[in-house]
Amino acid sequence: MTVGISMLSGRNVVEVGALIEDKLASLENQIPLGMNLDIIYNQPQEVDQSVAGFVTNTVEALIIVVVVLLAFMGLRVGLIIGAVLMITVAGSWR
């Protein structure tokens, strides 16, 4: 038997995934012998990994840009432009 669970619009996929995992864990001792509960595709885990990868890539890109600015524009101008870039990215976050 296969059960598919779809997320509602406006809900956090990772939070709903944690709730589902908790519910499956509570049902574990009620499963008859010979039956298993297996997750085929864990969308919350995939979403969490994608977001973590995006954050890592964004931080790496910002560091590279600031280093290049410092190398080619000098310390003072590089720090000013780098700070403005950081403020812009922080302001657009969420």
Read off the pLDDT of residues 20-73 as tens digits, 9 standing for 90 and up.
889 888 888 888 888 888 888 888 888 889 989 988 998 899 899 989 988 999
- For 1-94, list the strands marked E by DSSP: none
pTM for the model stands at 0.63
Instruction: Supply the pLDDT for residue 56.
Output: 92
**C-alpha of 92 from chain center:** 17
Query: Do the beta carbons of residue 85 and residue 66 sit within 8 Å?
Result: yes
Whole-angstrom Cα distance, residue 2 to residue 73?
59
**C-alpha pair distances (Å), 19 with each of 14, 22, 24, 43, 44:** 9, 5, 9, 13, 11
